[in-house]
Amino acid sequence: MTSSASRAAGGSAFLTDTTVTRVDERTWSADVNPRWNVGDNPNGGYLLAIAVRAMQEATGRPDPLSTTAHYLSPPKAGPVTIKVDLIKQGRSFANATAQVIQEGRERVRLLSVLGDLDARRGPTRVAARPPVLPAPDRCVSLRSLSEDAGRPVPQIMDRFDLMLPRDTSWGRVPEDDPLTVTGWIRFRDGTQPDPVSLVTFADSFPPTLIGSVAAGWVPTLELTVHVRSRPAPGWMMGTFSTRFLMEGLMEEDGELWDAEGRPVALSRQLALVLGGRP
């Protein structure tokens, strides 16, 4: 057996908790840790990172350029099996699918394109700008906002420093404007961001509708993350918006920008709003 445990150095919770161990040619094992839970269920971006680790090893490619996950049923904390099928091994890219299985039941199905960001060459044009935010030390933590509002703080929030502007419109959005969350994020234990962690950061901000729409739980049905660049060390900026919430189904479009103001990942997810209506 081989393992990604050698990457889990320096006391990093993320590296430790996304470690996968190779069982055979197409099978890996991993342990889902409850410290990445939202309520009783593991965060979707965290599960995505575990599967990406296995697909990295299966393809020999370092970067998940595009990954789509369909969440079939939530696993619990404990052992999971990841089955990887290599669809195509090309000169620049590899295509793979993965299944996250627990107790004989498929929980997540993934399709990914992997490559090497350092090897990419070609035209670049970015017609967007990073969000304008006060410095992190002039913002307020999501934990404080949640506690002040009497909302439970998910266990996963112990893994991050997540800071929002003090005058954030979160929860006070006019009905004809997009629901938006924008802020700073980093790992609390000092782990620096890398391309794999981006798939978790893309699903780590609070749902855009919290405070505007009565909701008990907002489970992700499908999540796609495009990784565009290796992030610089330090804080990252994230901005997420929802324009369409229709009959309990919402889309959420996201952007992640690194400490140098470069776009590093884009995301879109489809989520189900449970426990309330507008």
Q: Residue 216: its pLDDT value, please? A: 64
Give CA–CA dist 185/203, Å, rounded. 12
Quick one: pLDDT at residue 277? Answer: 43
Q: What is the pLDDT of residue 209?
A: 81
Q: What is the pTM of this model?
A: 0.91
Q: Where are the beta strands (DSSP E) in the chain?
A: 21-24, 27-32, 37-38, 41-42, 63-71, 78-89, 94-102, 105-115, 139-141, 160-165, 179-187, 220-227, 236-242, 245-246, 249-257, 263-272
Contact 222, 71 (CB under 8 A): yes
Tokens of 103: 């107790």
Helix (H) or strand (E) holding 147: helix 142-148
pLDDT, position 153: 83
Residue 278 is predicted with a pLDDT of 40
- Name the residue among 228, 234, 263, 251 with its Cα closest to residue 66: 228
- What is the predicted pLDDT for the residue at 170? 60
- R_g over Cα of the chain: 18
- pLDDT given at position 214: 56
Q: Does an H or E element contain 56, and which?
A: helix 44-59
**How crowded is residue 245: how many other Cβ atoms within 10 Å of its Cβ?**
20
What pLDDT is recorded for position 274? 84
The domains of the chain, with CATH numbers, are 4-117 (2.40.160.210), 136-272 (2.40.160.210)
Taking 70 as the pLDDT cut, the residues of the chain under it are 1-10, 169-177, 211-216, 275-278
pLDDT computed for residue 143 by the predictor = 86
